[in-house]
A and B are shown apart, each in its own frame.
Chain A
Amino acid sequence: MSKQSHVSVKDLHVGAETDSGRSVEIIKGVSFDVPPGEIVSLIGESGSGKTTIALSLMGHTRTGCFISGGEIRVGDNDVTSMGERRLSTFRGTEVAYVPQSAAASFNPSKRIMDQVIEITVIHKLMSRSDAETKAVELFRSLGLPNPETIGTRYPHQVSGGQLQRLSAAMALIGDPELIIFDEPTTALDVTTQIEVLRAFKSVMAEKRISGVYVSHDLAVVAQVADRIVVLRDGEVQEQGKVDQILYTPTHQYTKDLLAAFEPVPHAALEIPGDAEKDPLLEVHNLYAGYGPMKDGEPVAKILKDVSFTLKRGRNLGVIGESGSGKSTLARAVAGILRPYKGYALFHGEELGAGVQNRTKKQLQKSQIVFQLADTALNPSHSIQSILARPLAFYHEMRGAQKEKRVIELLDMVHLPSSIRHRLPGELSGGQKQRINLARALAAEPELILCDEITSALDTVVAAAILDLLKELQHDLNLSYLFISHDLSTVEAICDDVLVMLKGEVVEALPANEMSRKAKHPYSRLLISSIPQLDTGWLERVDADPVFAEQMANR
């Protein structure tokens, strides 16, 4: 291919109409090029327009949006001037799309093979047997286990990481000239993410296909991309080679993004008195599970023999992959799920197994905050009444005193007092999570169980929430049980860390020396799987023999 650039976007404008009929511009004149065989990454926070741009490369916009100006060229095709009929032959054969959630984009009632070769059937590219042979080849080059037979399975019979690679196979089967990856590893565990990234990288290099990789995670992008386009509010902030963006950024926003990656070491709180002698929460040999009970044990046993101690003013992190029982632990400690064996002590007094068995005082002193901020707020209550309820319930506050306290609480989480008249649906994700925290604080607790509270937020917003947590801890002498799959978050806020695997605690470590002191192979695997902000990290990890052995044993 002798063309100077393979894909080019010139002065792209995308507009949208709001419910009230007002038109807004989402993308404000974005231009970039993708040279043949290279991967360009679009990076930015949610709302920066990165997915909108990626979709417009296929001539597609979300409902209510429209391409209002500019030119998009893929190979010899002028995408912006194509009609619907031309677009439908163009999609799948010349440009293909790998979505964020592979699990949601596979049809659960059809076999994988039928879905992977669907593009060849729709576009009548080749015979069925040729397509299947080609699919098996792709499965092999994507490093999928049992490439000959995996196609006969149903989507629920393979893991999330495998499904994500299968959706890449689906995109590759039509030999497109451009593949769009829309946050393909965001929903995956760090250990799975490595496998997927490695597969993507090798297959793209092998086939010399151009790619557009949408992500909010700079470290991931550093592994796969050749060039980076930094976006914010629908405008390009900076673009350049990966090394230039990572090591010599010129724009302030890029510098901020990079700064959010700098690990902030957590300094333990100074606690007056003999805190060491008075553990806040002690959990002894806790067993919990789900499903109907049989012989006093539930059918699905999740937690096995979990014990730990949390001291006052200290923070305990719980890490592990999805399915390791982290959230179950939080639910068991909160009393939402009754443990069937073991017990917990709070200030040396035994906590009842379920919520009904606990005193109001015990319930008040430990509060829980959930991952999904929006489902944790009743959409039909105003912020005022959401925050006022625990005040009335635990502290019998009334009238003006209650309102004053609500304003104080909002101030504690750095929100303006005028926000109290709004409904949760009118707030942003970060604001909602602050309201959730404020509601927990309204009870005046000593312990807050944080269940992945920053996982659904953007990097910059999550960093602000972590700062807020630290500040509140300092002012109110709180303790956190902090559950997360993100090790750098845990490192930033916790004193001690529990590593969980299949419902068991495999290792307890001090947070600031996690990588040095970890002995258990699983903890080591987890720690070395966190993407580093440098372009050679993926190769380095692969070259590590200890790591390779761990991955092979999974």
Chain B
Amino acid sequence: MKSVLSFFSAFSAPQNTGYSFNLVGRVGLVIILFWMTVAVFGTWLAPYPPGEIVDWDYLGPVTSKFWLGTDYLGRDMFSRILLGARYTVGIALAAVVLACSLGIVLGMIAAVVGGWFDIILSRLLDAFNGIPSLLFGLVVVAGVGSSIPVLILTLTAIYMPGSYRFARALAVNVNTMDFITVARVRGESTPYLIVREIFPNILGPVLADMGLRFVFIVLVLSGLSFLGLGVQPPNADWGALVRENIEGLSFGAPAVVFPSIAIASLTISVNMFIDNLPKKIRDRSE
């Protein structure tokens, strides 16, 4: 997986020729890295335990004691957002990695193998794609209850077919190129064709798609939590934080503003980053 390594080297040396990318992309990357750090180390940085009621005033303003105000029960918002990052970023990341790796692998296999395998798999996933995502989430959570693994698998199931479609469409194009024919005539196996000949040529667009899908997953997760189907109290992801404190919206309480800002900053920065990926990754196939 040399290509994945080179992708990570972009983080360490953005100035490197060929892997350098512009300011907008770097700003996006910095914000993503910031939220990832928060997701990992957030609990140790939190000034108060996130579930504890620390103030008698509810939906309180920004003060030196409570940096981002207090929520509808008087809990410290700053601590709760730090903890929420772990749920939002963690669940979305796990779901996007699962959905995309499954979708990409199946998509490439379908493109290379073709025939009945391709037809049956494509129709099946198309049918699956027809189910509205929030509705599907509602039914699953109502059926088996809400827990973090269930949430991750539900989001994976919702976003896998799209990723499969995307990867298959790209791989079908690459599959018709002469260099694939040359490899076939050489007697290469299907796994070799998929990993060495096709994958490097669809990597750029697939990474961009993955970033986009991550954003969608964050939004659907927030939507599920907003409906009360996501992470269950007393824990809360950012979507749940918005829902809990929604009555504060009418008087602009920081408790509802800041989790919204957190969602927006993460999704926008991911977009900024993937739109400005280093040229070497983005235009590999050209």
Interface residue from B182, B196, B284 paired with A368 (Cβ < 8 Å): B182
In the complex, A210 Cα to B188 Cα: how many Å? Answer: 56
Q: Which of B169-223 contact A (CB under 8 A)?
A: 177-179, 181-188, 196-197, 200-201, 203
For residue B39, give the distance in angstroms from its CB to the closest CB of chain A.
33
For residue A431, give the distance in angstroms from its CB to the closest CB of chain B.
16
**A378-B185 in contact (CB<8A):** no
In the complex, A355 Cα to B285 Cα: how many Å? Answer: 27
**A380-B185 in contact (CB<8A):** no
**A379-B182 in contact (CB<8A):** no
In the complex, whether A75 has a CB less than 8 A from a CB of chain B is no
Q: B183 — which chain A residues lie within 8 A by C-beta?
A: 389
**A372-B185 in contact (CB<8A):** no
In the complex, whether A370 has a CB less than 8 A from a CB of chain B is yes
Q: B187 — which chain A residues lie within 8 A by C-beta?
A: 355, 358, 360, 363, 393
Interface residue from A335, A377, A379, A425 paired with B185 (Cβ < 8 Å): A335
Once A379-B285, A380-B284 are accepted as A-B contacts, the answer to whether A336 and B201 lie under 8 Å apart by CB is: no
**B178-A380 in contact (CB<8A):** no
In the complex, whether A222 has a CB less than 8 A from a CB of chain B is no
In the complex, whether A128 has a CB less than 8 A from a CB of chain B is no
**A370-B284 in contact (CB<8A):** no
Q: A394 — which chain B residues lie within 8 A by C-beta?
A: 186
Q: Which residue of B lies closest to A358 (CB)?
A: B187
Per-residue 0/1 for A28-62: is the Cβ within 8 Å of any B Cβ (1 yes, 0 no)? Answer: 00000000000000000000000000000000000
In the complex, A178 Cα to B192 Cα: how many Å? Answer: 55
Once A380-B201, A380-B284 are accepted as A-B contacts, the answer to whether A363 and B179 lie under 8 Å apart by CB is: no
In the complex, A420 Cα to B192 Cα: how many Å? Answer: 22
Once A375-B178, A379-B284, A425-B286 are accepted as A-B contacts, the answer to whether A363 and B185 lie under 8 Å apart by CB is: yes
Q: Which residue of A lies closest to B3 (CB)?
A: A380
In the complex, whether A439 has a CB less than 8 A from a CB of chain B is yes
Q: A336 — which chain B residues lie within 8 A by C-beta?
A: 181, 184-185
**A379-B201 in contact (CB<8A):** yes
In the complex, A368 Cα to B179 Cα: how many Å? Answer: 11
Q: B181 — which chain A residues lie within 8 A by C-beta?
A: 336, 368, 370, 376
In the complex, A544 Cα to B1 Cα: how many Å? Answer: 65
In the complex, A355 Cα to B181 Cα: how many Å? Answer: 11
Interface residue from A358, A360, A439 paired with B182 (Cβ < 8 Å): A439
In the complex, A377 Cα to B286 Cα: how many Å? Answer: 12
Q: B3 — which chain A residues lie within 8 A by C-beta?
A: 380
Q: B184 — which chain A residues lie within 8 A by C-beta?
A: 336, 355
* Among A363, A380, A381: residue with most chain B CB under 10 A: A380
**A375-B284 in contact (CB<8A):** no
For residue B203, give the distance in angstroms from its CB to the closest CB of chain A.
8
Interface residues on chain A, size class: 20 to 34
In the complex, A366 Cα to B187 Cα: how many Å? Answer: 12
In the complex, whether A443 has a CB less than 8 A from a CB of chain B is yes
In the complex, whether A240 has a CB less than 8 A from a CB of chain B is no
In the complex, A83 Cα to B181 Cα: how many Å? Answer: 50
For residue B4, give the distance in angstroms from its CB to the closest CB of chain A.
13
Once A375-B177, A378-B201 are accepted as A-B contacts, the answer to whether A390 and B286 lie under 8 Å apart by CB is: no
In the complex, whether A334 has a CB less than 8 A from a CB of chain B is yes
For residue B18, give the distance in angstroms from its CB to the closest CB of chain A.
11
Question: Interface size on B (CB < 8 Å)?
Answer: 20
How many residue-residue contacts, CB under 8 A, span A and B?
Answer: 56
**A376-B186 in contact (CB<8A):** no
**B186-A375 in contact (CB<8A):** no
Q: A334 — which chain B residues lie within 8 A by C-beta?
A: 185
Q: B177 — which chain A residues lie within 8 A by C-beta?
A: 375-376
In the complex, A393 Cα to B200 Cα: how many Å? Answer: 20
For residue A288, give the distance in angstroms from its CB to the closest CB of chain B.
16
For residue A394, give the distance in angstroms from its CB to the closest CB of chain B.
8
Q: B185 — which chain A residues lie within 8 A by C-beta?
A: 334-336, 355, 363, 367-368
Q: Which residue of A lies closest to B184 (CB)?
A: A355
In the complex, A334 Cα to B185 Cα: how many Å? Answer: 7
Per-residue 0/1 for A430-463: is the Cβ within 8 Å of any B Cβ (1 yes, 0 no)? Answer: 0000000001000100000000000000000000
Per-residue 0/1 for A335-374: is the Cβ within 8 Å of any B Cβ (1 yes, 0 no)? Answer: 1100000000000000000010010100100011010100
Per-residue 0/1 for A371-411: is the Cβ within 8 Å of any B Cβ (1 yes, 0 no)? Answer: 01001111111000000011001100000000000000000
**A393-B178 in contact (CB<8A):** no
**B201-A390 in contact (CB<8A):** no
Q: B182 — which chain A residues lie within 8 A by C-beta?
A: 368, 370, 376, 439
For residue B95, give the distance in angstroms from its CB to the closest CB of chain A.
28
Q: Which residue of B lies closest to A379 (CB)?
A: B285
In the complex, A45 Cα to B159 Cα: how many Å? Answer: 51
**B285-A376 in contact (CB<8A):** no
Per-residue 0/1 for A9-37: is the Cβ within 8 Å of any B Cβ (1 yes, 0 no)? Answer: 00000000000000000000000000000
In the complex, A79 Cα to B271 Cα: how many Å? Answer: 46
In the complex, A102 Cα to B285 Cα: how many Å? Answer: 28
Q: Which residue of B lies closest to A356 (CB)?
A: B187
Q: A368 — which chain B residues lie within 8 A by C-beta?
A: 181-182, 185
For residue A114, give the distance in angstroms from its CB to the closest CB of chain B.
32
**B186-A378 in contact (CB<8A):** no
Q: A367 — which chain B residues lie within 8 A by C-beta?
A: 185
**B200-A380 in contact (CB<8A):** yes
**B178-A376 in contact (CB<8A):** yes
In the complex, A358 Cα to B186 Cα: how many Å? Answer: 10
Q: B285 — which chain A residues lie within 8 A by C-beta?
A: 379-380
Q: Which of B152-181 contact A (CB under 8 A)?
A: 177-179, 181
Q: Which of B261-286 contact A (CB under 8 A)?
A: 284-286
Q: Which residue of B lies closest to A335 (CB)?
A: B185
Interface residue from A360, A377, A390, A425 paired with B179 (Cβ < 8 Å): A377
Q: A379 — which chain B residues lie within 8 A by C-beta?
A: 201, 284-286
Q: B201 — which chain A residues lie within 8 A by C-beta?
A: 378-380
In the complex, A372 Cα to B196 Cα: how many Å? Answer: 21
**B186-A443 in contact (CB<8A):** yes
In the complex, A355 Cα to B187 Cα: how many Å? Answer: 7
Pairs across A and B, CB under 8 Å, 7 listed = A363-B186, A368-B181, A370-B178, A379-B285, A379-B286, A380-B201, A393-B188
**Which 10 pairs of residues, A with B, have the shortest CB-CB distance?**
A380-B200, A376-B178, A375-B178, A363-B187, A378-B179, A370-B178, A375-B177, A380-B284, A376-B179, A334-B185
Q: A367-B185, A393-B187 are in contact. List 6 more A-B contacts (CB 8 A).
A: A336-B185, A375-B177, A380-B3, A381-B200, A393-B186, A443-B186
